[in-house]
């Protein structure tokens, strides 16, 4: 199964490295490999979150995400997105923006002789609004999870109290808005305050709209299916009430059935949700790539083809193997990593944060969650208890 899931990613990696070598020699090959490793290390929490959403989707929408979604991730976020930023910020048309990217000023200069900014400079200058949008989207995702009442908790000493105060209506919106105001007032440069506020609010609204629509249609379709099941049970004299109760309990414990998985409009909005989520995770990787190289071809090969493909393969592996069901704290660790990434993105609006720090924070939190899951499985092989205290 491992080879079948990761086989395509390995082939794509070899192909990308060959293209990189033909494009720019050993240097381009090395930079492409580094960017691929960077993307995977920064996006492991992305894969875990993707898997938690993907397993709620029908097989059709899973295939759409793993085909159409990968094209959007590779070419949309890692190639077109940076060019679009340059296009909008400089007023250049897409062809001229690509030409600007492929022909940087000599040396490490940030500007050309005529005073016009380089491709890398334009991207870097756009970081505050990019970080504000992505940071607020991810922050809303983290707060929504941490305030939600859950059967299983990881850091129970903090998660249980947060669940209680999370019963206050729209608390996550209030907290996110306060953090956005603090970021704009005390962290963002003076000339970027209004831009950061606007981009952050847009990130919050995007999360609420996409997530809300997904939940709305998922609930509607789930209710329709439940009503249909009830009607079939009512008209079928062979249905035994005790057996029906037992079956309901079994389905509750074993996760969503095929009928319960999102289809139709619910699946579509979950697909949109995953794409926006992937974009938010990609921001730090795209911006961080410019600390290594500004060449869009190398960035597309490293971040897009190698990095994005391995993240997708890892997502599929987590879903197919049922890893999230076996290691129940991974989802918690991934959400805490998201919260940390959101804070880092907001902080980075005013102060540069090394990509190594961003990657290590996520790896440490998910690693700790995995270790806790292993301890739980050893001590409670039947999953008798809901959680262990940490």
The pTM for the full model equals 0.73
Q: Does residue 291 form part of some domain?
A: yes
Q: Give the per-residue pLDDT at 181.
A: 94
Q: Give the per-residue pLDDT at 236.
A: 52
Closest among 307, 294, 329 to 46, alpha carbons compared: 307
Contact by Cβ (8 Å): 108, 291: no
> How sure is the predictor about 214, in pLDDT bands with cuts at 50, 70 and 90?
low
Q: Does residue 386 form part of some domain?
A: no
DSSP sequence for 321-365: TTHHHHSTTHHHHHHHHHHHHHHHHHHTTTS---HHHHHHHHHHH
CA–CA separation, 288 vs 294, rounded Å?
A: 10
Q: Does residue 390 form part of some domain?
A: no
Residues 6+ apart with CB under 8 A from 27: none
Q: Does residue 227 form part of some domain?
A: yes
Count of structural domains, the chain? 1
Closest among 315, 319, 216 to 270, alpha carbons compared: 216
Contact by Cβ (8 Å): 355, 288: yes
Q: Give the per-residue pLDDT at 176.
A: 93
Q: Does residue 322 form part of some domain?
A: yes
Q: Does residue 252 form part of some domain?
A: yes
Range of the domain at 22: 2-379
Q: Give the per-residue pLDDT at 315.
A: 84
Q: Give the per-residue pLDDT at 21.
A: 93
Q: Does residue 389 form part of some domain?
A: no
317-349 pLDDT, tens digit per residue, is 888 887 777 888 888 888 898 888 889 889 989
CA distances in angstroms from 50 to 56, 217, 367, listed in the order given:
10, 19, 17
Q: Give the per-residue pLDDT at 261.
A: 60
CA–CA separation, 363 vs 365, rounded Å?
A: 6
125-156 pLDDT, tens digit per residue, is 888 888 898 889 889 989 988 888 888 888 88
288-318 pLDDT, tens digit per residue, is 676 677 777 888 888 878 887 888 888 888 8
The three-class DSSP label of residue 3 is: helix
b/e sequence 359-369, b meaning 16+ C-beta within 10 Å = bebbbebbebb
Q: Does residue 387 form part of some domain?
A: no
Q: What mean pLDDT, rounded, does the chain reach?
A: 77
Percent of the chain with pLDDT strictly greater than 90: 10
Find where tokens 């193997």 sit. Answer: 321
> How sure is the predictor about 170, in pLDDT bands with cuts at 50, 70 and 90?
confident
More confident residue, 345 or 212: 345
Q: Give the per-residue pLDDT at 249.
A: 42
Q: Residue by residue, what is the 3-state secondary structure of 223-269?
A: HHHHHHHHHHHHHCCCCCHHHHHHHHHHHHHHCCCCCCCECHHHHHH
Using only C-alpha atoms, what is the Rg of the chain?
23
Strand partners of residue 319: none
What's the DSSP call for residue 74? I
């Amino acid at each position: 199964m491992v080879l079948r899931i990761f086989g395509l990613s390995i082939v794509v990696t070899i192909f990308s490295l060959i293209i990189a070598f033909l494009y720019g020699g050993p240097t381009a090959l090395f930079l492409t490999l580094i960017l691929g490793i960077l993307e995977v290390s920064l996006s492991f929490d992305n894969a875990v979150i993707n898997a938690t959403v993907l397993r709620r989707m029908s097989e059709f929408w899973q295939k759409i995400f793993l085909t159409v979604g990968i094209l959007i991730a590779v070419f949309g976020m890692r190639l077109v997105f940076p060019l679009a930023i340059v296009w909008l910020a400089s007023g250049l048309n897409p062809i001229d923006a690509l030409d600007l990217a492929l022909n940087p000023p000599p040396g490490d200069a940030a500007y050309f002789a005529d005073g016009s900014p380089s491709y890398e400079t334009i991207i870097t200058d756009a970081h505050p609004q990019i970080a504000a949008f992505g940071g607020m989207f991810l922050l809303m995702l983290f707060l929504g999870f941490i305030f939600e009442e859950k059967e299983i908790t990881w850091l129970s000493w903090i998660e249980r109290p947060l669940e209680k105060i999370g019963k206050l209506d729209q608390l996550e919106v209030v907290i996110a808005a306060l953090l956005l105001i603090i970021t704009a007032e005390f962290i963002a440069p003076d000339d970027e305050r209004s831009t950061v506020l606007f981009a952050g609010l847009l990130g919050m609204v995007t999360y609420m709209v996409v997530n809300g629509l997904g939940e709305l249609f998922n609930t509607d379709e789930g209710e329709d299916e439940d009503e249909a099941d009830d009607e079939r049970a009512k008209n079928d004299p062979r249905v035994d009430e005790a057996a029906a109760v037992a079956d309901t309990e079994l389905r509750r414990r074993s996760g969503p059935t095929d009928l319960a998985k999102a289809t139709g409009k619910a699946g579509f909005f979950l697909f949109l949700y995953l794409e926006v989520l992937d974009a938010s995770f990609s921001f730090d990787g795209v911006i961080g790539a410019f600390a290594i190289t500004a060449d869009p071809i190398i960035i597309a090969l490293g971040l897009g083809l190698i990095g994005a493909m391995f993240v997708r393969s890892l997502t599929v592996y987590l879903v197919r193997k049922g890893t999230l069901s076996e290691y129940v704290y991974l989802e918690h660790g991934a959400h805490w990593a998201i919260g940390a990434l959101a804070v880092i993105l907001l902080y980075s609006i005013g102060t540069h944060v090394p990509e190594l720090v961003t990657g290590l924070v996520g790896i440490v939190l998910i690693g700790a969650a995995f270790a806790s899951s292993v301890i739980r499985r050893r001590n409670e092989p039947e999953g008798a208890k809901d959680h262990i205290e940490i």
